[in-house]
Structure 1
Amino acid sequence: MFKNLARASHGLVALVAAATLSLAAQAQSPAVKPPLPVAFVYVSPVGEAGWTHQHELGRRAMEKALGGLVTTTAVESVPEGAESERVLRDLASQGHKLVFATSFGYLEPTLRVAADHPDVRFEHAGGYRTAPNVNTYNARYYEGRYLAGYLAGKMSKSGVAGYVAGFPVPEVIQGINAFTLGMRAARADAQVRVLWLQTWFDPPREREAALALVAQGADVLTNHSGSAAVAQTAQEKGVRMVGYQSDMRRFAPDAQLTAVTHQWGPYYTRVARAVLDGRWQPVPVWGGMKDGFVVLAPFHPDVPAPVAKAVRAREADIIAGRFHPFSGRLIDQSGRERQTGGTISDGALATMNWFVSGVVGTLPKP
């Protein structure tokens, strides 16, 4: 995964530029007679929470919204690499006309399979390259991460948060930095300690990392990984946590302050309708809180009303475009000034490979 980071960063600049293209300049796909066969490929088990679970909820919401206009297939626990290419190729050969590939490492296999099946539309989550029949989609998770960090800063007693992270790709780095900026906006001396997993889904390793962070003084935990292990560990150890991907209240009813949840149902429904109507186009999508892609779960009753009000006010500012988490002067963890003022560009976000001041941890070398 990480060995592809430099290439991904370069490609993400192109993705951001491509997103500005006029829809009229893109070739549309032919309409598809219903029912439209739609497939989803998942990197981990569906489970009861996490990255894959949220995509599965999106699939179910699409089915409910479109009824007999679609049929769906889901394949879970598909490793990135050769196995994902085999699965994608099988799904295309079986007659599926729309395929959602929902993990970062599926991009190259998706592009190869798409080249051999020009009549199939592919949607890849988090990718940085498109093709005539391949589109990419992602969410501005960093918006919710900033708010989560602000809440963590207000609620932490030690001023130390622990962050269990999967791979050091720009999306994950954005989240760590935004969380830290939010936490430091609430508490100037806050620290965010990061431990890398080098995997997206491994509950025992996620738990081990969470325990190590608690031992280092973290009294608030969060994660960018695929299971409920961090939430369960926070509940067990009596520390607070901010859920990610899913609302983790069922796993951490006493620990969870809120959760940064992913909501894919409306997007999947729109894409399927576009394919059915012949309006589908390979124009990258990077939606945020204003688009409903990222939603904060309800606050724990322990969160004081003034704190909740302050978080919601900043959330409203983000949705309205009055505030950006990466605005103003930005200093990295070495003390170097990365931005004197203004707002960071999408291109700079898409290639982010540095930590802001306040992060304790290093970026693994390729």
Structure 2
Amino acid sequence: MRVRARHPLRACRAANIAVLVLALVWFIPTLGLLVSSFRERDQILASGWWQAPLAAERTFRVRADAGAAVTEGGRHVIAGNVFANDADAAMPGRVKAFGVSSRAPAAFGTGLRADLVGGGSLSVGADGHYRLESPRAFGESAPTIYVRATMPPRFSLDNYRRVLADDVMVRPFVNTLAVTIPATVLPTVIAAFAAYALAWMEFRGRGFLIAASAGLLVVPLQLAFVPLLKLHQGLGIGQGLVGIWLAHTGFGLPLAVYLLHRAMAGVPRDIIDCARMDGASEVQIFSRIVLPLTYPALAGCATLQFVWVWNDLLVAKVFLPPADGVRVMTVAITDDLLGSHGGDWGMLAAAAFISMALPLLVFFILQRCLLRGLLSKAPEWR
């Protein structure tokens, strides 16, 4: 039977297209989050992030300043600008229409006069200047002006200033570092020793331990939350930094042992045997031969563990107390920002982008080691 070989050029193109699609799937939401973090809440509600460079149309209301009323020719007059309280006075919007009722906020075009209930009139210009006239005094409350305007695109660092100035993310950022660094170092170091023992040391039950470590990869983390938390409370650890370090270490060990075992088992046996014949101990073989040769796998495991712990929410909710002083960034974003600033999507986007900035930096620095550690069984030999 004749088998038709697959053209290598077609396979390469298919792989490139698949990689491009996956890159776009991850890049587009990240770009949208970045753009939204520089926009105001009203702009985010009015248009999508892809329309950020374009002018956005929105409808809002402004109450005229009754304290600015003056008398002209026996009539009471209030003059002002609907953009007077705008955050960016240097780039005001353009009024398209206005109204005197919420039922018809754009009933009148700019330059026209609208009759008010009880007498009087209102006119609004395209530049936002309005003029209210009434035969009677306005009193403490002046009429409300409804405006439909086209607002120019605006980008600012106000969302980042609010997040950092209000200490919304500074303390949780430090807490996240205090949780992530030990929870990355501990499982990586323990997994390196365990992987070497499983790969190159002969002892009873080694095959069972290898199969058990691989089988633990499919066990859901949620099954261990309650018994592990009870164990911590019984040992006096409770909820705290030590408890969450041990929890992340236990949850991260199966994958780390699996990846490092594959890498260390690929080291040529001749090197290990020669080192033992020369009198090298297991510690010397591990530290001077195996670790340098499997550095990409170590860096890859550390990168995966760092990103997973940094972005974790569920384990932090269970193994950290609900006190304000020990909350990590994911918990702060979920509890504080979504609770008290649930409608301010610009502030949420800024906080989320600050949260993901460090994992992205670590990933880009160690991406080559990560790929080599995940895709290769053994170090490269020439």
Of Structure 1 and Structure 2, the greater helix share is in 2
Report TM bin, short chain: under 0.3
- Give the greater-gyration-radius structure (CA): 2
Q: TM-score, normalised by structure 2?
A: 0.21
